Amino acid sequence: MNFELTERDAQTLFGMIWQGSHEEAARGEVKKVISLMEALRQKAVAAVGEDGGEYEHSGLIGISRNDRPYGFRYLVALPAALAAHVSHEDMRGHDFPRMSFATAWHGAEDGDVFSHYQSMSDWIEAQGLQWARRVLHHREEYTAPAILQGAPVLRLMMPVEKS
């Protein structure tokens, strides 16, 4: 598994929050919100028209906050450049500061996402860094279109800071 460090600039992400247990997420409940947001992403790309070609491959962004016993909240957001082209009554803006992340691409053949995150956590520690969970716990960047059937394909990201 190849891990690297990357930065994400401060940004406002527009999306919807799913909240529930890890068991509900494992049963696919969170995929309902991801699917709805993917439909909105495709609608936004179409609304942009020919000028939207550069955004066609901009996938959804998932932000996880493990801030409740036995569960978590998961923001599913549109890329910022597309958010202005669609609306939904449940979409809200969420501000995030500039952050550093440990990242890895998770392909369909890479097995369990949680195991991949554990390997990333071990790598973070070996680099003399620590998992910075004040703002968020995980960021995930989906392919476009988001693959919701079968094994997940996405960029896994954990916020980090110096120990």
Q: pLDDT by residue for the chain (163 residues), tens digit each?
A: 799 999 999 999 999 999 999 899 989 999 999 999 999 999 998 888 766 566 667 899 999 999 888 899 999 999 888 888 898 999 999 999 999 999 999 998 888 888 999 999 999 999 999 999 999 999 999 999 998 888 888 999 999 999 8
Query: What residue has token string 């916020």?
Result: 159
Q: In the chain, what are the domain boundaries?
A: 3-162
Q: Which CATH class is domain 3-162?
A: alpha beta
d(CA 125, CA 63): 22
Q: Following DSSP, what letter does each residue of 51-75 receive, concatenated? A: GGGGGTT---EEEEEEEETTEEEEE
Give the angle subtended at the CA of 77 by the CAs of 97 and 79, to the nearest 5°: 75
Can you give the pLDDT at residue 163?
83
Which of 159, 34, 5 shows the shortest CA–CA distance to 96?
159
Collect all residues with Cβ–Cβ distance below 8 Å to 146 and sequence separation of at least 6: 34, 35, 37, 38, 41, 59, 60
What is this structure's pTM?
A: 0.92
Q: Which amino acid is at 50?
A: E
